[in-house]
């Protein structure tokens, strides 16, 4: 049998191939489609897995970045307290605010330092920005302070521009950190924009600490009495770290 004879199909074979061709074509295309689909599913699964991995890595990096920023911020705050002690030539104990009441947010704070750290009653509490309040209760490892916004608080002040003496009193508003500037003499020249500092006339607050800035001046009883409204220099609403002046 010659090669030509071996490669020539018989009539039954020709008929069978012609009949089977459409079926074979369909099976081939289906197989090809299924194979492609399986490949796409594998690729899709890989992309989803890779996406989850990258997402987890991104979240971890964001958490690390946030922690690093927080550590840097706290470090800068503590540096500011060290500079404060150097500038004022005072001995201070830096303490963290660990509690304050939501219903009396502007009245008192609890600190994580107490008698073992040298803190005593009636010591001044400040931040690098200004006066915060005074210590009124002490345990071995904690202490509690009245804020200058507390209605029980009164701080002797001095108008920086004129040197005149005033009294800074807490208003006790549950949602307002402003305080009242009481004029001991109705002739005191008090104007919006005036800075008020501690007078140094008490044993609690050293002289010259910034209390805040007057933003309003009011007259009552047909001008017979006047008082000012002051915004504290310290961020009373968001205290995290404070310094207690021990000497």
Positions of the chain with pLDDT under 70? 1-42, 70-72, 74, 88, 221-224
According to the model, what pLDDT value does residue 162 have? 94
Q: 209-230 pLDDT, tens per residue? A: 999 999 999 887 665 688 999 9
According to the model, what pLDDT value does residue 223 have? 57
According to the model, what pLDDT value does residue 70 have? 66
- Which stretches within the chain are classed as H helix? 3-7, 11-88
pTM of the model: 0.69
Q: How many Å separate Cα 200 from the centre of its chain?
A: 33
According to the model, what pLDDT value does residue 98 have? 95
According to the model, what pLDDT value does residue 177 have? 87
Instruction: Please tell me the distance from the alpha carbon of residue 68 to that of residue 142, in angstroms, as a whole number.
Output: 28
According to the model, what pLDDT value does residue 34 have? 56
**Neighbouring C-beta atoms of residue 24, cutoff 10 Å:** 11
According to the model, what pLDDT value does residue 29 have? 61
| Domain boundaries, given as residue ranges, for the chain | 1-89, 92-245
Residue 148 vs residues 30, 103, 169: alpha-carbon distances, Å: 82, 16, 7
According to the model, what pLDDT value does residue 3 have? 45
Say if CB 155 and CB 122 are below 8 A apart: no
Q: Provide the CATH number for the domain formed by 92-245 in this structure.
A: 2.40.10.340
């Amino acid at each position: 049998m010659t090669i030509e004879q071996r490669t020539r199909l018989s009539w039954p074979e020709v008929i069978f191939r012609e009949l089977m061709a459409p079926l074979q074509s369909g099976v081939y295309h289906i197989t090809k489609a299924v194979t492609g689909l399986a490949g796409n599913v594998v690729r899709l699964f890989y992309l989803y897995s890779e996406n989850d991995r990258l997402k987890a890595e991104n979240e971890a990096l964001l958490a690390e970045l946030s922690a690093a920023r927080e550590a840097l911020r706290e470090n800068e705050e503590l540096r500011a307290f060290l500079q404060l002690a150097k500038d004022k030539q005072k001995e201070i104990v830096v303490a963290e605010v660990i509690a304050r009441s939501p219903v009396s947010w502007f009245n008192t704070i609890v600190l994580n330092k107490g008698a073992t750290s040298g803190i005593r009653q009636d010591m001044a509490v400040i931040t690098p920005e200004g006066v915060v309040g005074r210590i009124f209760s002490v345990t071995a490892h904690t202490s509690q302070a009245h804020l200058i916004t507390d209605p029980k608080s009164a701080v002797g002040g001095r108008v920086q521009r004129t040197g005149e003496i005033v009294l800074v009193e807490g208003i006790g508003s549950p949602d307002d950190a402003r305080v009242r500037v009481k004029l001991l003499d109705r002739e005191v020249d008090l104007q919006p924009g005036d800075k008020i500092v501690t007078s140094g006339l008490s044993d609690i607050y050293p002289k010259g600490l910034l209390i805040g800035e007057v933003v309003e001046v009011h007259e009552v009883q047909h001008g017979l009495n006047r008082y000012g409204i002051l915004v504290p220099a310290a961020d009373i609403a968001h205290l995290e770290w404070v310094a207690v002046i021990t000497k």
